[in-house]
Amino acid sequence: MVLTTGYRIVDQFFMQFVSVPAQAAVGSSVFVAIVFHAAFEILAAGAGPLVARATGAGDEDQRRAVVGSALGGAVVVTAGLMVVGSIGAEAIAGSVGLNGATREAFCDYLTVLSLTIFPLVLTPVVDQSFLSIGQARLPMVLHAASLILNAILTPLFVLNLEGGIMGAALASNLSRAVTTGTGLVLLSREIGLGPAHVRLRHPLGRVLRIGAPMAASTAMYALVYWALLRWTVSPLGPHVNAALGIGFSALEGVTWPVFHGTAIAVASLVGRYLGAGRPDLALGAVKLAFYPVTGLGLVASAGFYFLGAELAGLFTDDPAVLAEATRYAVILSASQLFVAWESLSEGVLAGAGDTASVFRWSTPFNVLRIPLAWALAIHLGAGAAGVWWAINLTTYAKVLGKGLAVIRGRWLEITP
């Protein structure tokens, strides 16, 4: 998971050699990219539990049908995102409150990213299929190769070929095309998937039904940040946009995937054990995962608090950006342990197919961030620190709700 989101770190790092507006544009585009991600997460999140249960039950035909229908859906989703991201780039830039050079850079980045987005849409479907059958090593190797290729292509396209921010978008999707294409071929061999299986067919309805709450939760999460950018972050200045990009993409771009990777492992185990009729083993996997997740959360909190300035300094030499990114790290250190627990809870619920509970305990508190951040940052004059604390406070509420949903144990009896 760290490798999966590593392209954000690469982009954020090399944008410091272009300009502060370019870095602010990449930072702001992250949340638009997450909204786009929600459109194809519906396929991966929906297919995951079904593939895991089919694997646990030994039903290979059902497994091929689910993966094939998800791949067919990916083609449709790609076409829609290409149109929205390219034609709507200007409108989207305006909706997040960007102006001047930052707005221009944002539009260039989003347009190129959208027109070449097919590999990005395919990646989570291929990854989730492998993870759901219990194979995590191959996706890790493929994402390592993708990140290495991206780290080579990005400076080449951005600096040597003077492609600027557009070169970063092209490098990201080109590197994904090579490795995801390889992964798709290997997945097809592993489960016996042929061209005839890739179509819009009956399992797609179940995939969409299960994946919709997760996708909606992700979309709302990103739209909340979209609103924060429009009404709170962007009015505070480009240095705050850039700081948010560094904090979210570069710092939490490492810690959150670590938490989420453990959660995905638990989700795969939960789905396969429930499919095999062993809820006792599913519950045991959750209990075992709690300890490493807690340890990782504590390490992340300490790292953010004590090394925030040093880590942020790797991505900028602008004093204003560095000061705000450091403040982000120090304040968000107070919630990293809770983010780890939240991620684990989501993994348990999603693995069981109880995606509705994830949506129920995520969306209301994410939406609350909009007025809370504005009240703290603008109305009470706390500045960007108010935004960062609004994120912390709502995280505490979310983990409480999701944790209680896991403890109650209703997910052990759900049939997706």
pLDDT digits (tens, 9 = 90+) for 321-356: 999 999 999 999 999 999 999 999 999 998 898 988
Mean pLDDT of the chain: 90
Q: Span 396-400, mean pLDDT?
A: 96
215, two tokens: 């996708």
Return the C-alpha torsion angle 88, 92, 94, 97, nearest 10. Answer: -170
Please indicate, yes or no, if residue 287 is contained in any of the structural domains: yes
By C-alpha distance, which of 140, 130, 136, 135 is closest to 51?
130
Please indicate, yes or no, if residue 167 is contained in any of the structural domains: yes
Rg (CA), the chain: 20
CB 35 within 8 A of CB 253: no
Give me the domain span that covers residue 275: 6-413
* Confidence label for 416 from pLDDT (cuts 50, 70 and 90): low
> pLDDT digit string (tens) for 189-238?
999 988 888 877 778 888 888 888 888 888 888 888 888 988 999 899 88
> If you count them, how many residues does the chain have?
416
Please indicate, yes or no, if residue 295 is contained in any of the structural domains: yes
Residues 6+ apart with CB under 8 A from 148: none
By percentage, how much of the chain surpasses pLDDT 70? 100
* pLDDT at position 272: 87
Q: How far is CA 271 from CA 63, 225, 308, in A?
A: 13, 31, 37
The label of the residue with tokens 């049908």 reads: 65
Please indicate, yes or no, if residue 1 is contained in any of the structural domains: no
Strand segments, DSSP code E, in 238-317 are: none
Please indicate, yes or no, if residue 177 is contained in any of the structural domains: yes
Q: How far is CA 98 from CA 152, 225, 236, 284, in A?
A: 30, 14, 12, 48
* pLDDT at position 82: 94
Would you list the DSSP string of 42-101? HHHHHHHHHHHHHHHHT-HHHHHHHHHHHHHHHHHHHHHHHHHHHHTHHHHHHHTT--HH
Q: Span 366-372, mean pLDDT?
A: 95
By C-alpha distance, which of 6, 231, 19 is closest to 109?
19
Between CA 122 and CA 183 the distance in angstroms is 10
* pLDDT at position 238: 86
CB 131 within 8 A of CB 102: no
> pLDDT digit string (tens) for 286-319?
999 999 999 999 999 999 999 999 999 988 888 9
Q: Which region among 139-153, 262-276, 278-292, 387-401 has the lowest average model confidence (pLDDT)?
A: 262-276
CB 399 within 8 A of CB 342: yes
CB 402 within 8 A of CB 342: yes
Between CA 86 and CA 112 the distance in angstroms is 7
Please indicate, yes or no, if residue 331 is contained in any of the structural domains: yes
* Confidence label for 112 from pLDDT (cuts 50, 70 and 90): very high
Structural domain count, the chain:
1
CB 32 within 8 A of CB 245: no
Q: Is the pLDDT reported for residue 45 higher than 70? A: yes
Q: What are phi and psi of 141, to 5 degrees?
A: -65, -45
Please indicate, yes or no, if residue 97 is contained in any of the structural domains: yes
By percentage, how much of the chain surpasses pLDDT 90? 54
* pLDDT at position 255: 92
Between CA 389 and CA 346 the distance in angstroms is 22
* pLDDT at position 339: 96
> pLDDT digit string (tens) for 73-90?
899 999 999 999 999 999
Please indicate, yes or no, if residue 74 is contained in any of the structural domains: yes
